[in-house]
Amino acid sequence: MKHIFIINPAAGKDNSFDNIKKILELKKVEVDYELYETQAPGDATAYIRKYCTEHKDPVRFYACGGDGTLNEVVNGVVGFPHASMSCYPCGSGNDFVKYYGGKKVFWNLEELLNAPEEYIDLMRVGNKYAINATHFGFDSSVAETMMKVRRKKLIGGKNAYTTGVVVGLFKAMKNACRVSVDGELLNPDGNILLCTIANGQYVGGSFRCAPRSLDNDGLLEVCLVKPISVLKFVGLVNVYTEGTHLDDERFADILEYRRGKKIEIEAPEGFIYSFDGELIRQNKFTVEVVPNAIRFAVPKSATYLPGIKHVPKYAEEKETVNVL
């Protein structure tokens, strides 16, 4: 199998190209590998799709960066049965890998290169795919602020999400949109505080929005919170952060939680949502699950989050689904 490391030089504080190259050389890794440094946003997807079209032998791509790089690799690999993927998380945001115990699980390159592959689901809007989450309302306001401040000192970096929350408290406590899950309208009054559609479990670095989510069960988790006061929000945000909100009685009247395959959203013009961190303006869209969409290599040292009953669907057990 060919192993190709897709390295985003803009991810994180330092360019990881030299670091990854040095590790591979020092370890004297005896596999066929290449390093590719991306040139611009979208380059990773274009490079992977071109490579997979021209080469038909088995290949595994590693997203070396943050969640944005991971998303680009996902959109490159999906639809090519001979291609699989994993990640070497070295960006400022690495939410998806928290599902498997965090970034350190993927930092041992020798173990990563030998990691078994399992099938996982993706979500799709139109012809674009996401691996972790789609979120909007308060959350998309937060994401919009994060993009503006992420490279600034003090309020950016690891603090970017907190900065976004503070801004959102002033301008995004009530958001107009209607959300339907498999035909059931969750909010007839047409307003939300926030809504997250998840395949992973975390958003924003530390917020466990979907604690019951499994990334291979053929379903997406939908967590909709109705508008509340700023005071009540402040009193409940820690519960949401810890991921205990689904069992907290204080959320009983303000939370709608469903599992589903097709989520439809209708909103006023100018509506914005976050799709694996990419901000998209679209007032009417549908999020669908794509079961067993890709093969994802997970190191054997993975330690799953509490409450997860993750049963891997290994590559040798079934064929991939062609989603092109």
Domain assignments of the chain as residue spans, ordered by start: 2-121+293-317, 133-288
Q: CATH: 3.40.50.300, 3.40.47.10, 1.10.3210.10, 3.40.50.10330. Which one for 2-121+293-317?
A: 3.40.50.10330
As a whole number of angstroms, the distance between CA 146 and CA 162 comes to: 9
- Residue 274 has a CB neighbour count (10 Å cut-off) of 24
Q: What's residue 86's pLDDT?
A: 98
Tens place of pLDDT for every residue, the chain, 324 residues?
A: 999 999 988 776 666 788 888 888 876 777 899 999 999 999 999 999 999 999 999 999 999 998 999 999 999 999 999 999 999 998 877 899 999 999 999 999 989 999 999 999 999 999 999 999 999 998 788 878 887 887 788 888 778 878 888 888 888 899 999 999 999 999 999 999 999 999 999 987 778 999 999 999 999 999 999 999 999 998 998 999 999 999 999 999 999 999 999 999 999 999 999 999 889 999 999 999 999 999 999 999 998 887 788 888 886 544 444 444
Over residues 128-172, the pLDDT tens digits come to 999 999 999 987 888 788 878 877 888 887 788 788 888 888 888
SS3 assignment, position 237: helix
Residue 214 per-residue DSSP state: -
Q: What's residue 206's pLDDT?
A: 79
Map tokens 């589903």 to a residue.
Answer: 260
Q: What's residue 306's pLDDT?
A: 77
Residue 314 per-residue DSSP state: B
Q: CATH: 1.10.357.10, 3.30.70.1400, 3.30.530.20, 2.60.200.40. Which one for 133-288?
A: 2.60.200.40
Ranges of H-type helices in 186-303:
230-242
